[in-house]
Amino acid sequence: MGFQTVAAIFDLGKIDPIEILHFLVALYLSISLHEAAHAWMANRCGDDTARLMGRMTLNPVVHIDPIGTILMPLMQVVFSGLPLIGWAKPVPVNPLRFRNMRRGEILVSLAGPVSNFLLAAAAIILSWLVIAATRAAGPGAGPVAEAFLTFLFRLLILNLVLGVFNLIPIPPLDGSHILGVFISKEAAQKLERFLMPPFNFIILLFVVLPLLNPVFNLMFDAATFLMGVWWT
């Protein structure tokens, strides 16, 4: 299971265009919320750079990264069997403008992954409401409800994966900024030099992600259990 299980869920080569559209909507909503959360928290901490640049919004257009938001999802549509992962254009942040630099660095870095976990929680709660409404409405609402619940399940899994993935302490992920607060400046610089592209991506793909298989396993099982009342 783990990433293999998630890969099976996101096997886009075996689903129709409507389902592909569902995946893309879920992805763009998730990464837009992630970046908007960074911008919102930075503004709260004293740096309004991202807000003034129009990045404190859920509009995916302003967050588009040519590779992470367009090319990567398209490659996964063509070459199925990969987890649906993407990223947006990084939000500009000036830590020197934070009222408390250490606290600001941590809060702004955490804001993105936390937003994904909150969206995952919202998907669970909304699914329970849909289930309750479907039972009250009777069998006629079943097909529509099932399609919506399927979308919510994919939104849930996607955001759990994105939230955990972004907490990995490898540049340029959010976890690396959090780690940088707790280690010396010299150590942070050495780590950043060591994990420059393409080595960071190699380590992520061939070392870190396989080690995280049990975590993704657990997340998938938890999501299935929480929504299993309809999924099974």
CA distance 22 to 188: 39
Say how many Å lie between the first and final Cα of the chain, rounded. Answer: 17
Question: What count of other Cβ atoms lies within 10 Å of the Cβ of residue 26?
Answer: 21
Phi, psi (degrees; rounded to nearest 5) at 204: -60, -50
CA angle 117, 204, 84 (to 5 degrees): 50
Question: What count of other Cβ atoms lies within 10 Å of the Cβ of residue 140?
Answer: 9
CA distance 196 to 183: 18
- 35 carries an active-site annotation: yes
Spell out the alpha helix ranges (H) of the chain.
3-9, 17-44, 49-52, 72-78, 101-137, 142-166, 174-182, 185-194, 199-203, 209-211, 213-231
Of these residues, 19, 35, 146, 192, which one is catalytic? 35
Closest CA to 213 of 165, 167, 178: 165
Question: What count of other Cβ atoms lies within 10 Å of the Cβ of residue 195?
Answer: 18
- Which positions are annotated as active-site residues? 35
